Structure formats: structure tokens, C-alpha cells
Amino acid sequence: MNEGQTKADNKNDEWDWMFACCPKCRTTLVQAENGLNGFIRCQQCGVHVHIVLKNSTVFMERKR
């Protein structure tokens, strides 16, 4: 349903989007803004990753 949506329609340009990629298979796990802190499971390889987005820095740690 979103095929007609273009970047020009994106009203969140001023947002500081950050991407977090899986440390194992490099799949993009999440696109989020500063302040995210939580666990995400990679849909590709099943790895659990602790992700923190803070001060425009991506912190990632594989859950043991």
C-alpha cells in the first residue's frame, strides 16, 4: 500500500534516524531514533541483540 510513497513525502527528515545491523548476518534489525534501548531478535539468523541508540552512537551486544 505504500508503493506510492516517496522520500519527498517523508515529513520526518529532521529526525536523526539510525540503523542497527545484525552483528552476525548484517541484516538491518531496526531503524530508530536516539534513545532506543532494548533487545531485538534478528529475523534472518535468530540472534538476540541488545541495542542502545544514544548520542548518535549505536551500541550493540549479542545476548548470551
Binding residues for Zn ion, per CB under 5 A? 22, 24-25, 27, 42, 44-45, 47
Q: Up-side HSE of residue 49: CA atoms within 13 Å toward CB?
A: 27
Q: How many other CB atoms sit within 10 Å of the CB of residue 32?
A: 19
- In sign, the C-alpha dihedral spanning 47, 48, 54, 59 is negative
CB of 34 to Zn ion, least distance (A): 23
Q: Nearer to Zn ion by C-beta: 20 or 42? A: 42
Q: Nearer to Zn ion by C-beta: 10 or 44? A: 44
CB of 62 to Zn ion, least distance (A): 10
